[in-house]
Amino acid sequence: MTDPAFSFDVHAQPAEQVFNTVDSQPDGLSHEQVQLRHQQYGANRLTPAVGESPWVKFFRQFNNVLIYVLLVAATMSWLLGRWTDGTVIFAVVIINGIFGFLQEGKAEQALASIRSMLRVHTHVLRDGVRQQIDAEELTLGDVVLLESGDRVPADLRLFEGINLAVQESALTGESFSVQKQTDPVRVDAPLAERFCMLYAGTLVTQGRARGITVNIGDNTEIGKIGSMLRSVEPLTTPLMKQLGDLGTTLTKAILILTGLTFFFGWIWRAYPIDELFMAAVGLAVAAIPEGLPAVITITLAIGVQRMANHNAIIRRLPAVETLGSVSVICTDKTGTLTRNEMSAQSVQIHQGELAVSGVGYSPLGDITSAQKALNDTQQLTLQRLAVAAVLCNDARFDQKTIPWQLHGDPTEGALLILAAKAGLDPAAIQQSIPRLAEIPFESTHGYMATLHPSPEGSTQPYQLLLKGAPEKILQFCTQVWTPTGFLPLELTEWQQAIDHFAARGQRVLALAEAETSNPFISTAHQTQTTPDLTCYPFTLLGLVGIMDPPREEAHLAIMQCRQAGIHVIMVTGDHASTATAIGSQLGLNEPLTVITGSELEQMPAEELQAKAAHIDIVARATPTHKLKLVSALQADHHVVAMTGDGVNDAPALKRADIGVAMGKKGTEAAKEAAEMVLADDNFATLRTAVLEGRTVYDNLRKALVFLLPTNGGQALVMIAAILLGITLPITPVQILWVNMVSAITLSLPLVFDQAAPNLMQRSPRQSHEALLEPVLLFRIAFVSVLLMIATLVIYHWSMLHHADLARARTVAINCLVGAEMVYLISCRSLLNSTFSVRGWLDNGYALLAIFLLSLLQLALTYLPFMHLLFGTDGLDLQDWIMIVSSCLLLYLLMEVEKQLTPRFLFRSKKA
């Protein structure tokens, strides 16, 4: 679409000039103009993100160096005529790929929803006739008609507005609705201060409007953010980096060992070439943990399922683990830490300050003074103020459900809820007392005024009510209302109350009344845009402090994140003073370190990188600021989670190590950019997700520490046999059996282990920290050697006593599998003893796996057709006593090593 040059500064042009620039008129475009512009500028839609085809997603599952080696091993087996061996290896690879593909697709389906914020219907004027069209049919110059509740379908230059307010939090991060007006603003006005503009994706909360379409599709402010989003490349997760490095290292080591063993057997032991080739294949299959990709996928999938049960939807499997290594959470305020519902928190009347309990759009709550019930004087004054707040108000509530459903401006809705908590019925008051005249709110004069019949006992027939910014209202007031009479207005005392409310992050409104005999609202200067109400003797009723309150559970969640060593940074579009007050209530670090977006932007990259992790709040932040902050934290080696719900959050969500979008109030742009979506919009859910992420990582390490020695022990048996020039104690096809029935079967129960008791008291894992620390590498080597020695010794014992190769190999296989069974129990805690009832019995999956594998081994040992396929033979009681005794001895040695090695050779955290 052509990018019209006039679109950039229309906020600084008078509406008449904008009509001339876009070649339009107040009664809309003609049919011919619409057709021509559709051809020139295209449809009003955002360019969709380029998705992966199902085939690309499927083949991406095989992009792993270990899988490459397994495919080569399968091919070599086929070339040597070992069709069964090659087919088994290939089948394992394909099954793993299918499983990963299905899990990723299932996670994507969980987010199926409306794909565009612009797919709405809107009303336009064309040829002077009002029409309803699909928003995609809008074009430049169209005149759009909007009312309360409508979503703005494109970027519009406002030329007519009546009591108009717009919720722009999805774009700017501001909690409050913005009052709009038609006058141009300065050219360099920031987006949040362009009061004559309406932007695509924002919501009209009050009033009516007409605007000229000046930007559509990708040229809207939402579209520009979308373009920025497409240019941001997501990062590889720490787990994928570490597993990639591990796979590369394992592959190199396996290939080198296989090559050296092959040449040793050829040159020094004179093995036949075809036998050496199969021995090499057997060594590669024995050494490669082919079950590892499947175990990783299953572990992550189980993490996905657990998180889904806690309202956290994972879009990509590796994101589960990434949560466990998060060290910094950059969180949006509005709708994430706060409820995104305005609530009256405080009331100031002549008799003192009143506290209002209860949050959101629910009438449940109390109003108290110094934690005591109100006296009669306070109650009468409060009700007088509440009636004024209800009448000087355009909002309405649908009271069929709790919380009530708001229709109108959130700030005005908070005043209606305040009246309900004061014991009044807002709907009944609005119906019984008519509105005779009004002055709609405009930012130019900062207040709203309504005229009504006076209540009983008044000296004049009409009552004029006033609501607005306290600095404006106090100018008109000379006295204060009390039930017993009027008192002089002490301006200093009321200003202190205003400052006190503002310091707590509350937006302050003042309410006043005046009696008059005029049934019309008169102004001293009818030609002025701003009315003059100085001719009315206004009496101050009181002040109301309103804010978007923090979520009740957010404070506890932040405290738990801090205990887990996770630093929380609040990033918001609010003013610094408001953000600071909210941050203190949420329990962020004290004293708070607060900077503004402009300060962050001017900070050199090196300075920001050094200071980023010590920032607690970033106020007045734009999408660019959020992106720069995340990048600075990552440059300082932090693993960063970014939470948010707005379009403006999407680029930072995508750039972060893990983006976390809100499911209920989050925009589709945010959800598409995020790795995880919180279905309940609850920041506290993130704490549970971090716990699950850390549990997944712990369980993955357990699976690695289990798989690598079992494969290593098998490989060492093959190598030792070739080096010693003896008959292989286990044949390649028997190794395939062991891998097929034990490697995945026995490692899977580890992924069901519950979180360690101290898991959320540990510091976050560093992104550069090794997947396997030195003590675990020693364990892997130690157990590999133990398995090799046990297998060779029991094989040699059987040959000495029975001189039967098939029987000796059967004893060796059963000893190897039995040793893996007890090693499974030992791996349930990597550094703490499992020599207890809990260590053996509290994971039912482990006991089930041992039981099933025992049945399979009995089938391998005693069924005739298994003898034929795998070259095994039956055993007697003496053989089983030797096997069980060897396994128990190995278990004791493993547990002793677990206690001695960390104490004398390494320093390590307990897991």
Highest mean predicted confidence (pLDDT) among 224-233, 367-376, 540-549, 736-745: 540-549
| Region class of 542: left (phi > 0), else alpha (psi between -120 and 50), else beta | left
Instruction: Identify which of 71-75, 278-282, 515-519 has the greatest average pLDDT.
Output: 515-519
pLDDT-based confidence at residue 503 (cuts at 50, 70, 90) = confident
**Would you say the C-alpha torsion 497, 499, 501, 504 has a positive or negative sign?**
negative
Q: List, for residues 256-276, the tens digit of each pLDDT value.
A: 877 787 777 777 766 666 666
Q: Are 302 and 669 in contact (CB under 8 A)?
A: no
Q: Which residues contact 275 (CB under 8 A, 6 or more apart)?
A: none
Mean pLDDT confidence for 869-895 = 94
pLDDT band at 409 (very low <50, low <70, confident <90, very high): confident
Spell out the residues 6+ positions from residue 254 whose beta carbon is closer than 8 angstroms to its own.
69, 283, 284, 287, 288, 715
Average pLDDT score, the chain: 83
Encoded tokens for 637: 């080696």
* Arithmetic mean of pLDDT, 407-415: 88
Spatial CA neighbour of 647 closest among 25, 220, 197, 101: 220
Tell me which residue of 529, 449, 452, 542 sits closest to 494, measured CA to CA: 542
User: How would residue 235 be classed by pLDDT, with cut points 50, 70 and 90?
Assistant: very low
Bridge pairing between strands 367-368 and 197-198: unpaired
Mean pLDDT of 706-732: 84
pLDDT of residue 688: 83
**Residue 906 to residue 896: CA distance in whole angstroms:** 15
Residue 187 CB neighbour total at 10 angstroms: 10
**Residue 270, Cβ neighbours under 10 Å: how many?**
9
Residue 759 — very low, low, confident or very high, per pLDDT cuts 50/70/90?
confident
Q: Say what the pLDDT of residue 4 is.
A: 47
CA 667 to chain centroid, in Å, comes to: 12
Taking residue 534's Cβ as centre, other Cβ atoms within 10 Å add up to 11
- What the block records as the tokens of 202 is 């924002």
Q: What is the mean pLDDT of residues 141-167?
A: 89
Give me the pLDDT at residue 424, please. Answer: 95
Q: Distance (Å, rounded) from C-alpha 697 to C-alpha 872?
A: 39
296/365 Cα distance (integer angstroms): 49
Residue 856: how many CB atoms within 10 A of its CB?
A: 16
At 907, is the pLDDT very low, low, confident or very high (cuts 50, 70, 90)? Answer: low
Q: Among the ranges 43-52, 204-213, 509-518, 520-529, which has the highest mean pLDDT value?
A: 509-518
Cβ proximity of 213 and 141 under 8 Å:
yes
What pLDDT is stored for residue 473 in this prediction? 95
In tens, the pLDDT along 584-605 reads 989 898 889 999 998 999 999 9
Q: Which residue has the higher pLDDT, 881 or 242?
A: 881
Which pLDDT does position 92 carry in this prediction? Answer: 64
Q: What is the DSSP letter of 152?
A: P
Residues 317-342: what's their mean pLDDT? Answer: 81
Q: Which residues on adjacent β-strands are paired with residue 215?
A: 155
User: Would you say 787 and 719 are in contact if contact means Cβ atoms under 8 Å apart?
Assistant: no
* Residue 293 confidence class, pLDDT cut points 50, 70, 90: low
Q: How sure is the predictor about 6, in pLDDT bands with cuts at 50, 70 and 90?
A: very low
- In the chain, the percentage of residues whose pLDDT exceeds 90 is 37
For the residues of 378-436, what is the DSSP string, one character each? HHHHHHHHHHHHHHS---EEETTSSSPEEES-HHHHHHHHHHHHTT--HHHHHHHS---
**Cα angle vertex 577, ends 571, 581, to 5°?**
80
What pLDDT is recorded for position 2? 40
Instruction: Write the DSSP string, 768-821.
Output: TS-SS-HHHHHHHHHHHHHHHHHHHHHHHHHHHHH--HHHHHHHHHHHHHHHHH
pLDDT in the model for residue 862:
96
Distance (Å, whole) CA 572 – CA 106: 33
The Cα 370–Cα 378 span in angstroms is 12
How buried is 208 (Cβ within 10 angstroms: 0-12 exposed, 13-18 middle, 19+ buried)? middle
Whether the bond between 434 and the residue before it is cis, its omega within 30 degrees of 0, is no
Angle at 495 between CA 494 and CA 499, to 5 degrees: 120
Burial of 610 (0-12, 13-18, 19+ CB in 10 A): middle
Residue 179 parent element (H or E)? strand 178-179
Are 640 and 629 within 8 A, CB to CB? no
User: Residue 905 in 3-state DSSP?
Assistant: coil
Note the pLDDT of residue 115: 37
Q: What is the mean pLDDT of residues 536-552?
A: 92
Q: Return the pLDDT at 578.
A: 83
Residue showing tokens 């004791």: 892
Q: What's the confidence (pLDDT) of residue 744?
A: 60
Surface-to-core class of residue 733, CB atoms within 10 Å of its CB (0-12 exposed, 13-18 middle, 19+ buried) = middle
CA–CA distances in Å: residue 83 to residues 77, 501, 600, 869: 7, 80, 64, 13
Residue percentage of the chain with pLDDT more than 70: 84
H or E element, residue 355: strand 352-356
Tokens of 751: 């992924």
pLDDT band at 240 (very low <50, low <70, confident <90, very high): low
Quick one: pLDDT band at residue 908, thresholds 50, 70, 90?
Answer: very low
Cα Rg of the chain (Å, integer): 36
Which band of pLDDT confidence, cut at 50, 70 and 90, is reported for residue 410?
A: confident
Q: Which of 85, 142, 155, 332 is catalytic?
A: 332
Nearest alpha carbon to residue 96 among 293, 301, 240: 293
Burial class (CB in 10 A: 0-12, 13-18, 19+), 453: middle
- Predicted pLDDT at 286: 67
Judged against a pLDDT cut of 60, whether residue 119 lies above it is answered with no
Per-residue pLDDT for 312 more than 80? Answer: yes
Which H helix or E strand runs over 485? strand 485-488
- The DSSP line for 842-879 is S-HHHHHHHHHHHHHHHHHHH-HHHHHHH------HHH
Number of H helices, E strands in the chain: 32, 27
C-alpha to C-alpha distance for 268 and 258, rounded to whole angstroms: 15
The pLDDT score that the predictor gives to residue 8 is: 60
In this prediction, residue 163 carries a pLDDT of 79
Cα 138 from chain centroid (whole Å)? 33
**Given this model, what pLDDT does residue 117 score?**
36
Q: What is the Cα–Cα distance from 42 to 219, expressed in whole angstroms?
A: 11
Q: What span, in angstroms and rounded, lies between the C-alpha atoms of 135 and 154?
A: 8
How far apart are the C-alpha atoms of 340 and 550, rounded to whole Å? 9
- 87: number of Cβ within 10 Å: 13
Q: Looking at per-residue confidence, does 556 or 512 come out higher?
A: 512
Is 245 tagged catalytic? Answer: no
pTM more than 0.85: no
The confidence score (pLDDT) of residue 104 equals 56
